[in-house]
Chain A
Amino acid sequence: GESVGLHLPTLSVQEGDNSIINCAYSNSASDYFIWYKQESGKGPQFIIDIRSNMDKRQGQRVTVLLNKTVKHLSLQIAATQPGDSAVYFCAETEGNNRLAFGKGNQVVVIP
């Protein structure tokens, strides 16, 4: 079946460096994509979203890139901080308002 998945299970990054988290999706009909951050024992926290009619969107220290040609989504975090250590999930809308989550990618920030 169609799915959303992440390439790398764990990313270790030095504090202050930039982080890039990648996500592949296979549902070409998806039109809305979201990145969530989940800290241990907490719920998914919205970071940034992007619609399929865009290829880039910027937030505070974060940028999401969407490449519909290769069905690839990425999250860039600038100047990574210790508080950025978490699991990051990409998700896509599947159907009306049902999110399909990827498996998650652990980011570990090294002080």
Chain B
Amino acid sequence: EPEVTQTPSHQVTQMGQEVILRCVPISNHLYFYWYRQILGQKVEFLVSFYNNEISEKSEIFDDQFSVERPDGSNFTLKIRSTKLEDSAMYFCASSESGAGNTIYFGEGSWLTVV
């Protein structure tokens, strides 16, 4: 069964450093997403991406964050100048089409900022 894959599974970084989280969405999917989950809390929407541009972003997704689809298969989340409160599980997701279509999640990248 096709799945969303993410790397790394776990990354520890120093406060102030830049982090890039990588994702390979399901191959025929056109919509890509990043969500995050702080330990013990609910999953929160960060950003959606379609046709090589951001289609929607939440208030969490400020100038510290950026997304990119550098080639035909990868979808990345860059976090600049990481803060302690950025520590969370970051989930990449994808869907075949937009609203009302099943969104499939990856296993997540656990980011620890120290």
Contact = CB atoms under 8 A, between A and B. Distances in A.
Contact of B56 (A32, A46, A89, A98): A98
B61 to A, nearest CB: 11
Interface in A32-57: 32, 34, 36, 41-46, 49, 51
Contacts of B65: none
Contacts of A60: none
> In the complex, which range does the number of interface residues on chain B fall in?
20 to 34
A89 B105 CA distance: 13
Interface string B93-109: 00100111111111110
Interface in A79-111: 89, 91, 93, 95-104
B100 A51 contact: yes
A98 B91 contact: no
Interface centre among A89, A97, A99, A102 (most CB of B within 10 A): A97
Interface residues of A, number: 25
A101 B41 CA distance: 10
B13 to A, nearest CB: 19
Nearest to B107: A43
Interface of A: 31-32, 34, 36, 41-46, 49, 51, 89, 91, 93, 95-104
